[in-house]
């Protein structure tokens, strides 16, 4: 059966349902670096927490899971572009076609690795915040039990 590119790209979302604190610990340990930015979702069914608190934690965890690092990658790329332009303008011996072409090529050569580094750091930052949010949620569950 033929499917359009849009239909092929549509993926099912894998939902992790958390009923207990041990489910939360398992999900936190299970989600690896590669799983961030992918089609994942967390559903909290923790009766110990108030509905508003549960909803806030659920939204926060899902937002962090969806983080793909693109905003950090774009920021790193534009900062690199600005730095290259500033350095080349300050050190400019004069305006010539070869100098401009060289500057553009240098900017492009530095922007790609900078964007990749920014994307990686964005994903790592989201993963770290995900872990911290899971720990906060564990503490909230624990304090309700005590």
DSSP calls for 73-88: HHHHHHHHHHHHHHHH
Is residue 118 over pLDDT 90? Answer: yes
- Compute CA 45 distance to the chain's CA centroid, rounded to the nearest angstrom: 25
Q: What is the CA radius of gyration of the chain?
A: 22
What's the CA gap between 34 and 31, in Å, rounded?
8
Is residue 35 over pLDDT 70? Answer: no
Residue written as token pair 């930015």: 37
Q: Contact at 8 Å (CB) between 62 and 31? A: no
Indicate the helix (H) or strand (E) that contains 105: helix 97-145
Domain ranges (residues) in the chain: 13-145
The answer to pTM > 0.95 is: no
How confident is the model over 46-80, as pLDDT tens digits?
888 899 999 999 999 999 988 889 999 999 999 99
**CA-wise closest residue to 67 among 98, 40, 94, 29:** 40
Confidence of residue 141 (pLDDT cuts 50, 70, 90): confident
- The structure tokens listed for 82 are 């600005």
Mean pLDDT over the full length of the chain: 85
């Amino acid at each position: 059966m033929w499917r359009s590119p849009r239909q092929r790209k549509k993926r099912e979302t894998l939902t992790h349902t958390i009923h207990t604190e041990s489910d939360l610990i398992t999900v936190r340990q299970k989600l690896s670096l590669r799983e961030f930015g992918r089609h994942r979702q967390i559903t909290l069914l923790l009766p110990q927490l108030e509905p508003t608190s549960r909803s806030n934690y659920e939204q926060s965890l899902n937002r962090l899971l969806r983080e793909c690092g693109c905003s950090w990658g774009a920021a790193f790329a534009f900062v690199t572009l600005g730095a290259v332009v500033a350095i080349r303008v300050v050190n400019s011996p004069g305006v010539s076609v070869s100098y401009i072409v060289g500057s553009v090529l240098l900017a492009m050569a530095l922007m790609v690795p900078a964007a990749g580094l920014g994307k990686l750091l964005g994903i790592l930052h989201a993963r770290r915040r995900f872990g911290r949010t899971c720990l906060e949620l564990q503490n909230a569950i624990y304090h309700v039990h005590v």
